[in-house]
Amino acid sequence: MTQDISANKHEWMKTPIELPELPWEKNALEPVISAHTLEFHYGKHHKAYVDKTLELIKGTELEGKSLEEVILAASKDPAKKGLFNNAAQVWNHNFYWKSLTPASKSSMPEALKAMLERDFGSLEAFKKQLVNAGMTQFGSGWAWVVYEGGKLSIEKTPNAEEPWTENRHAVLTLDVWEHAYYLDYQNKRQAYLETVIDNLVNWEYMLHNIEKA
Ligand code: MN3
């Protein structure tokens, strides 16, 4: 559950509430994730979360606040659960797109490989744990790599929840809602996770997130 990180005024606390441009062309992740999936996942699902968030804050004290400020405020108010779900889903999708990159650009920096071997024993063990987090998240949710106190770990969250708090930083995420993979993989969530991890992860971005944490 999200906790108070209002003292943490990093740049990422200033994300505007809008549908960001994708960091690559819609067909750039093919054949692992199709343009068809992205038409719906980005063009319909992500856009709907943005539209609903803006609708829910319109005319309230949260209008004009950053995405993170809205998420934190909504997370503390049970009456704002609907707002939390939509705003957090905007944040999670923003982060998910940046966690992915075309296969030709998905290469692991040596510095990150060393960190993964240090904290998980081996690269294979890391990948297996990440797939397992996504597979054991019952129903909709997210698999995450989290950085806290100089150490990497793997988590899963249901629905729209994020794992980040003041001193815990999400450094990578994978969407395991069915809408993320059903058009391309049908019910085969494991195949989606393994193929994405082996081909599309933006490891440079993950390392960047660790370094700035
Ligand atoms: Mn999604």
Residues 117-171 have pLDDT tens digits of 999 999 999 999 999 999 999 999 999 999 999 999 999 999 999 888 767 899 9
The model's pTM is 0.93
44 exposed, middle or buried (CB, 10 Å; 0-12, 13-18, 19+)? exposed
- pLDDT grade, residue 10 (50/70/90)? low
What's the 84 CA to ligand 1 centre distance in angstroms?
A: 15
Structural domains in the chain, sorted by start: 10-25+33-98 (1.10.287.990), 103-212 (3.55.40.20)
What's the 114 CA to ligand 1 centre distance in angstroms?
A: 30
pLDDT at 168: 87
Q: Is the pLDDT at 2 greater than 60, yes or no?
A: no
What's the 77 CA to ligand 1 centre distance in angstroms?
A: 24
Phi and psi at 145, nearest 5°, equal -110, 130
Q: Mean pLDDT lowest for which of 44-53, 80-89, 162-171?
A: 162-171
Q: What span, in angstroms and rounded, lies between the C-alpha atoms of 210 and 112?
A: 9
What's the 42 CA to ligand 1 centre distance in angstroms?
A: 8
What's the 183 CA to ligand 1 centre distance in angstroms?
A: 13
